[in-house]
Amino acid sequence: MFTLSWQPPYDWPWMLGFLAARAVEGVEIVGELSYVRSLSVEGHCGLVRVVADLQANALQVTLSQGLQPVSSVCLEKITRLFDLNCCPQQITSALGSLGAARPGLRLPGCVDVFEQGVRAILGQLVSVAMAAKLTAKVALAYGDMLEDAPGYVCFPTPEALAKAEPLHLKALGMPLKRAEALIYLARATLEGTLLTAAPDDIEQGVKQLQTFPGIGRWTANYFALRGWQAKDVFLPDDYLIKQRFPGMTPAQIRRYAERWIPWRSYALLHIWYTDGWQPSVDSEITGIQ
């Protein structure tokens, strides 16, 4: 068993609720204070079990035998997924009143950049629940079963999806263009075109992602937010964000959000998950006299 610590406060009910809503059947199971999932790392496969110890401010991580040779990589992935390196006091100080109500909010990351790209593409124009169901179908069809963990399947590798037939993916319940986008993403990953770590210039990286078929601006930014766990991403043309900023254009919203640089990703989460939040009147931004 391994131990990973975090700096309190940490809003575990929110984080696990976020992951539970997006849990892919066969790949992961989210409990009240636990998270279990299959994982494939450098050819090694197995289960990761994570239990939050709220008294010790630590995660207890158990790796099955198959993952023991790559334990350090697995722990890095869990650290990114749960944003354990976050300094909440620093974020709260930077966000001011916006972050005061929920200082334990963290930025959900991912355990694999390619996997997050697949999830982002499959999540387009459907509900969170429908996206999780469709992703589970893809995982079952193209992932490898875990021999020592009945009922679990490893998320499909880029190699597996790169060889997929578009019509077979379409038959799982997605538009043909989306199936083709998944195959392109898989091949881009194998060719090294899809960056598996956050680039120095996130904005330029997001623009490059938008050259991929089936990836628009919103999807590219959301991918940067979770796949690269970029700390300074904002989505001014997001539907809910536009509702939170009534009467403002995306350009005005973008300018307003500049006050939260370099932590705009956290600001975005707080705005998304704070019912009734409203921006302060700022004549310079909104044009109100």
Cβ partners under 8 Å of residue 146, min gap 6: 38, 45, 46, 47, 152, 153, 154
Amino acid identity of residue 141, one-letter, is: A
Q: Could you give the count of Cα atoms lying within 13 Å of 224 in the half-sphere of its Cβ? A: 28
Encoding tokens for residue 214? Answer: 């089936």
DSSP states along 189-245: HHHT-S-SS--S-HHHHHHHHTTSTT--HHHHHHHHHHTS--SS---TT-HHHHHHS
Which phi and psi (to 5°) does residue 153 adopt? Answer: -130, 140
Residue 182, helix vs strand vs coil? helix
d(CA 204, CA 7): 32
- Which tokens in the block code for residue 192? 């090294």
Q: Which of 112, 148, 238, 275 is catalytic?
A: 238
202-209 helix and 217-226 helix, angle to the nearest 10 degrees? 130
**Where would I find the H helices in 2-54?**
12-21
The answer to whether 11 is a known catalytic residue is no
Q: Is the dihedral of CA 153, 158, 159, 165 positive or negative?
A: positive
Q: Which two tokens stand for residue 42?
A: 């450098």
Question: Among all residues, which ones are annotated catalytic?
Answer: 238
